[in-house]
Amino acid sequence: MKKSLLMLLMAVMTLFADVDWVMDYQDAISESKESGKPIFVMISREKCHYCYFMKSQVFTDPKVSAFLNENFVPVELDLENDPLPDYLKPYGTPTFYIVADGGKRMSRPIVGAAKADAFVERIKKELEAFRKR
């Protein structure tokens, strides 16, 4: 009985695993200052196949969502509808950045899609390099 209940609970958690996206860049800056976490920025656009893949397949993976939620203030900016700060340059979509101190410290741009495990490893490496700066 306990094993069945645990399996059911894990299945439900997997279904609802998602990144806790902040809806506005200024809100992300405020939350970053409060939490001490850097901002994870995704620059996307509506008709981007790879953006859709990341949202539907990668960010719903519990390992990915847990990693991003624990280490960052995640925010998605739509290239066509959201104002981008001058320092965030899209190099195609999706483009990702790690940003701290209101844009004073930034990672190199990370461009393109990847499967869940490869994406987490890529972001971990960039986060380590970012923290050394």
**Domains of the chain, first to last:** 18-132 (3.40.30.10)
Output phi, psi for 120, to 5 deg: -60, -45
Closest CA to 44 of 17, 84, 72, 98: 84
Inform me whether the pLDDT recorded for 71 exceeds 50. Answer: yes
- 80-128 pLDDT, tens digit per residue, is 999 999 999 999 999 999 999 988 999 999 999 999 999 999 999 999 9
Asked whether residue 5 carries a pLDDT value surpassing 60, the answer given is no
Please check the confidence at residue 10 and state whether its pLDDT lies above 70.
no
Residue 23, pLDDT > 60, answer yes
For residue 2, the Cα-to-chain-centroid distance in whole angstroms is 34
CB 73 within 8 A of CB 37: yes
Mean predicted confidence (pLDDT) in 23-37: 96
Tell me the whole-structure pTM to 2 decimals. 0.85
Residue for token pair 């190099």: 91
Q: Which of 90, 128, 129, 125 is nearest to 111 (CA)?
A: 90
SS3 21: coil
The reported pLDDT for the residue numbered 1 is 59
